[in-house]
Chain A
Amino acid sequence: MKFIYLVRNQFSKFWGRELLLILQIVAMICLTAPVMTDVAALLSVNRLAEQITGPAIFMQADSRYLMPDEMAPQAFYEALSRANNIEEVKCVGRTADATGRFDQQSALITFYNPALVENVTLPLRRGAVYFPEESDRIPLLITQELAQTYNIGDEIPIQLYFPVSRIYAQEAFVVVGILDSDGYYYEFVGGGTDIALNAMGAKNSDDKFRAIALSGFDIVPMLDISASCLLFVEDDSQATVDAVNRALAGIGSAARIDTMRQNTIKAVVQDQPLLFVAAALMILLCWLGTVIFNWLNMDDFIGRLSVYYICGMTLHRGFFANATTQLIPILFSVPISILLAQAVPIEISMAGIRMSLLLILPVIFLSILFLSLRFRKTDPILLLQKNE
């Protein structure tokens, strides 16, 4: 209680300075989150690229969020089918996701098709991916969080929602492996996820259990790649890329993954140059604002430091109290930023928001560094000696 009292006494009048810092941080997060959303997508592609075992071409369609208005899913599937039928393409790697119910909670399940499972090294902690021919259970990889409850071999009944038929149907899943990272989740969605789910996840297709489901029952951070597929090919030469692009006939565009990375970097800057510049300026402004805030805050505190010191405060406690005063507005800005970033009228993913929140780390680092430097130079005796 006393520590809280001590910290509270250090806040500025009417919290003006602290509110200004919070506003700066929130503005920085809200402005950078759209840019970071693209960067997060790029990073997820990078991560994926390292795990693909053979040559592959990345195919992007228009944003899936816009697709229902601009393009019929059927047109997309036809284009994808044409690409799949050309000689150079071996198979198409795809994902789909579904909502469901599990242990009276809502659940999110991502399905990986066999091509993806065969051509991408899934980072597993334990277990192995397999395709049981006779089993009537869908093999499932679970996150480490769920691994605290379930073991490999356990059966988990999940009610999956099938939007086309608008029904919940209970499916039996069996745990076959545990993911190495809870954050592992690639989303390649081509066309509507609903249709993809009915085609891939349901058991009424010719092939049994073509999908591997990755579970994300609570929160699995999504590394969101916009409407996309991986085309696994014999070789990823320019001729193959051109052939795929001809087959797609303008529905989407295919490129080697490294080209796609470069394009994404350019897109981050070129698509929204004003936003990019504003975000960069806001980062600088926020960092500068933090230094000014720290300076003023420390100035106030140094005025009190000699008083506190003669009254029995250790310098360590003083440092801790002042650091807390500085960190509280920074930490306070985090939930506000998350809430407001989602209200920004630009497409923002949680991965983008999380990456933007990382920009707070330099703010915290600056605060602690600045405080340490000024504390090191501060001698309460010198402050008192002005009397002599």
Chain B
Amino acid sequence: MIQLNGVQVYYNQGKPNEVHALQNIHLSLKPKDFAAIVGPSGSGKSTLLYVIGGLLRPQSGTCTVNRNVITSMKNKQIAAFRNQEIGFVLQDFGLIRNETVLENVMTPMLFSREKLLSMEKHARNALDMLQIGDLASRKIHQLSGGQSQRVAVARAIVMDPSIILADEPTGALDSENAHLLMEVFQMLNRQGKTIVMVTHNINLCAWCSRTIAISDGKIVDDAHSHI
């Protein structure tokens, strides 16, 4: 369950270049929702994702995720929350290029209570689930875009979080790989994960159960559909 109440975010507050990125956002997402957040560049959709993911603290309002009021948490608690509850998938994959696939997937477990010895096993399971177990020993720069994004998804699910936040996950992929990635997201959603995806690509909304349109920091449309 994700609940945002009166969330306001400013960038460069009090300066001449102040931007009111999110304006009094009220939003509720249920468990197992597969939501797309759409809107033009600079509309605040990624900012909304960062607030939900505990990456950005709003200047006012509250954000509650799985009963955790993350807007009132301390930095250390928010870091633990990100580690346990959220999996991030980014447009440029957000992978460490000179490390292997396996090492990249193990990264979130470095900040968890998981023992070092069992980390590799969990990482391999995540890779197998996404059918890229054979890439484990490859370096990231040896992978294609589609493979890299699958590795990013494997890293996002390795801690078995309940929520996956994806920021333009298909932005660097061709249509075929974008389609494959959406199938992966759909599979994860069917397994019970809440997925919130920011996208420019309106066609991808067809994969989602809910489409939230945002413009100038405000929610301008919120449509539910059944897929």
Contact = CB atoms under 8 A, between A and B. Distances in A.
Contact of B171 (A9, A384, A387): A387
Given A304-B96, A384-B50, A312 B55 contact: no
B96 A388 contact: no
- Among B50, B56, B94, max chain A CB count under 10 A is at B94
Contacts of A317: 79, 111
A388 B42 contact: yes
B222 interface: no
Interface in B79-112: 79-80, 82-84, 86, 88, 90-92, 94-99, 103, 107-108, 110-112
Contacts of A66: none
A311 B110 contact: yes
A304 B107 CA distance: 10
B214 to A, nearest CB: 12
Nearest to B111: A312
A6 B92 CA distance: 23
B155 interface: yes
A162 B152 CA distance: 76
A387 B92 contact: yes
Contact of B83 (A6, A13, A312): A312
Contacts of A2: 110, 116
A5 B46 contact: no
Contacts of B76: 314, 316
Interface in B163-187: 167-168, 171
Given A6-B110, A304-B96, A387-B168, A310 B88 contact: yes
Contacts of B91: 387
B90 A308 contact: no
B55 A384 contact: yes
A310 B92 CA distance: 14
Nearest to A1: B116
A310 B82 contact: yes
Interface residues of B, number: 38
A307 interface: yes
Contacts of B103: 9
A: contact size bracket:
20 to 34
Interface in A304-322: 304, 306-317
B173 to A, nearest CB: 14
A302 to B, nearest CB: 12
B53 interface: yes
Contacts of A13: 98
Given A313-B79, A387-B171, A303 B96 contact: yes
B41 interface: yes
A316 B75 CA distance: 9
Interface string A354-386: 000000000000000000000000001100111
Contact of B82 (A311, A385, A387, A388): A311
Nearest to B103: A9
* Central interface residue in B76, B82, B95, B168, by most chain A CB within 10 Å: B82
B82 A384 contact: no
Interface in B46-75: 46-47, 50, 53, 55-56, 75
A310 B96 contact: no
Nearest to A303: B96
Nearest to B107: A311
Nearest to A312: B83
Contact of B108 (A5, A306, A312): A312
A316 B92 CA distance: 25
A387 B167 contact: yes
Contacts of A304: 96
Nearest to A314: B79
Nearest to B80: A312
Given A2-B116, A307-B107, A312-B111, A384 B167 contact: yes
A380 B108 contact: no
A316 B112 CA distance: 16
Contacts of B46: 384-385, 387-388
B84 A381 contact: no
Interface string A5-31: 110010001000000000000000000
B167 A312 contact: no
Contact of B75 (A6, A315, A386): A315
Contacts of A5: 110, 116
Contact of A312 (B45, B82, B116): B82
B12 to A, nearest CB: 12
A313 B88 CA distance: 13
Interface in B24-43: 41-42
A313 B110 CA distance: 9
A262 B79 CA distance: 60
18 contacts: A9-B103, A13-B98, A303-B97, A310-B82, A311-B83, A311-B108, A311-B111, A311-B155, A312-B111, A314-B75, A314-B76, A314-B79, A384-B50, A384-B55, A386-B92, A387-B90, A387-B91, A387-B167
- A-B complex: 7 closest residue pairs judged by Cβ atoms: A312-B83, A312-B111, A311-B108, A388-B46, A310-B88, A387-B91, A314-B79
Given A312-B80, A314-B75, 19 more contacts: A2-B116, A5-B110, A9-B99, A13-B98, A310-B53, A310-B82, A310-B88, A312-B111, A314-B79, A315-B75, A316-B75, A317-B79, A381-B50, A384-B90, A386-B92, A387-B90, A387-B92, A387-B167, A387-B171
